[in-house]
Amino acid sequence: MYRPEPLLPSPSVSAIDRSHDWNSSARALASGDQLLVTDLYSTGLNTLAALRRLLESRHPDLRDFASEREFRGDYQRASQNLLAPIKSQQLALDKAPEIGWFGELYRDCVDFLLPYPQIQGLNSSWQWYVKGIEIPVLHRRLFPFYGTYFPTRFDHLELFDNWLQNYTGPRELACDVGTGCGVLSLQLAQAGFARIIATDSNTNAVESVRRELVRHPPGCEVELLEADLFAPRGEQLELIVFNPPWLRGVARSPIDEAIYYDDTLFERFFDLARSRIAAEGRLVLLFSNLQLSADSATPHPIQQELESGGRFLLVDHKKRQVQKASAKTRRRKRDPTNEFVELWELAPANSC
Ligand SMILES: C[S@@+](CC[C@H](N)C(=O)[O-])C[C@H]1O[C@@H](n2cnc3c(N)ncnc32)[C@H](O)[C@@H]1O
């Protein structure tokens, strides 16, 4: 299972507690020293707040995109130098939150350290896992496992829901490529599909959906697979759905693979999809204009396929303006005014 890498205690790490000046600790972190918090969880949070202030003062024009990116890079690097101790599957600090992931993901480790940002990520993820995320199109909550992508905006899911309501094709077998926390598979189950194959290349996502299916059996057969795009072999598919990563870039961790696509992903996807789709089948992709609005020189991968791939033809294209994320789960402060989500329905080229 994917987890933040545990670090071994080391004599080169200096201990800090509430008696230390947060600003001087922040300066030490920024210059590359590693510090270990030894008393209160809040000592670490206050030190990170001081680090943020210090780095903000070094990047005064945060409205400028390049400067903001530099600030974020500096903060990410320096904050990794602040460490917390974990002993016997508990954060060994006073007034620390309960994070059940230590018991789930670190059974093989007794005494180790983790950088504070990873602890914060584990903590948020545990809260989401315990409380669940309300998914309006499913009329219920999903409980994403650590390291699994889950939606915080729902416009694309509503587009898919509307599409499913008007879908008149067969409902025997669909494939949900890159299932994440399983939301599209559960929409397909809700729409009456008899069998669904759900794949993801991220082990944690597969575990997330496995738990979800145990928690709430969907009333149809769901075959879960850890796979690169498609199962290695199998029947022809009546419907293939894929909500791919929306930004071109480099994934540095399994969770990043939900966000960033490399130069080969769409070519490989369309090639395999063409060989797996039934003659009268449909391919549905959910996408957005995010990449295009960040960099208009990058080709839109679905338009590119339609213009020159020769494997699929356009059946329908719907788009919708994005609403603001819910305040509880908001991850980014993006202005959604010019952001659109898209649903692309394609058919294999020689069947039209
Ligand atoms: C944007 S998320 C969508 C998740 C989910 N389907 C949804 O709509 O919320 C993209 C998902 O595709 C998965 N993924 C990325 N590359 C993949 C690949 N080559 N094979 C299988 N899954 C992949 C990621 O791990 C992630 O779970």
Report the separation in Å between the CA atom of 180 and the middle of ligand 1, taken as the mean of its atom positions.
5
Write out the two tokens for 108.
């093989």
**DSSP state letter for 69:** H
Report the separation in Å between the CA atom of 348 and the middle of ligand 1, taken as the mean of its atom positions.
22
Confidence check: pLDDT of 228 > 90: yes
- Residue ID of nearest Cα to ligand 1 atom 13: 178
Report the separation in Å between the CA atom of 127 and the middle of ligand 1, taken as the mean of its atom positions.
22
Tell me the best of 155, 201, 204 to mutate to test the pocket of ligand 1, counting ligand atoms within 8 Å of each CB and taking the most. 201
CA 267, 272, 278, 284 torsion-angle sign:
negative
Measured from the CB, is residue 243 less than 6 Å from ligand 1? yes
Measured from the CB, is residue 144 less than 6 Å from ligand 1? no
C-alpha to C-alpha distance for 128 and 135, rounded to whole angstroms: 12
**CB-CB neighbours of 335 under 10 Å:** 9
Residues near 121 by beta carbon (within 8 Å), at least 6 away in sequence: 4
Least confident of 32-36, 69-73, 149-153: 69-73
CATH number assigned to the domain covering 136-351: 3.40.50.150
Confidence band of 238 (pLDDT split at 50, 70, 90): very high
Stated as kind and residue range, the H or E segment containing 84 is strand 82-87
What residue segments make up the domains of the chain, in order of their start?
14-129, 136-351
Report the separation in Å between the CA atom of 99 and the middle of ligand 1, taken as the mean of its atom positions.
26
- What 3-state DSSP class applies to 94? strand
For 14, 15, 18, 36, the CA distances from 11, given in Å and listed in that order, are: 8, 10, 20, 11
Task: Read off the pLDDT of residues 270-329 as tens digits, 9 standing for 90 and up.
Answer: 999 999 999 999 999 999 988 888 788 888 999 999 999 999 999 999 999 987 655 544
Mean pLDDT confidence for 145-154: 96
The pTM (predicted TM-score) of the whole model is 0.92
Measured from the CB, is residue 185 less than 6 Å from ligand 1? no
Stated as kind and residue range, the H or E segment containing 55 is helix 41-58
Residues near 77 by beta carbon (within 8 Å), at least 6 away in sequence: none
Measured from the CB, is residue 147 less than 6 Å from ligand 1? no
Helices 22-30 and 65-79, interaxial angle, to 10°? 100
Q: Taking all residues of the chain, what is their mean pLDDT, rounded to a whole number?
A: 93
**DSSP state letter for 308:** I
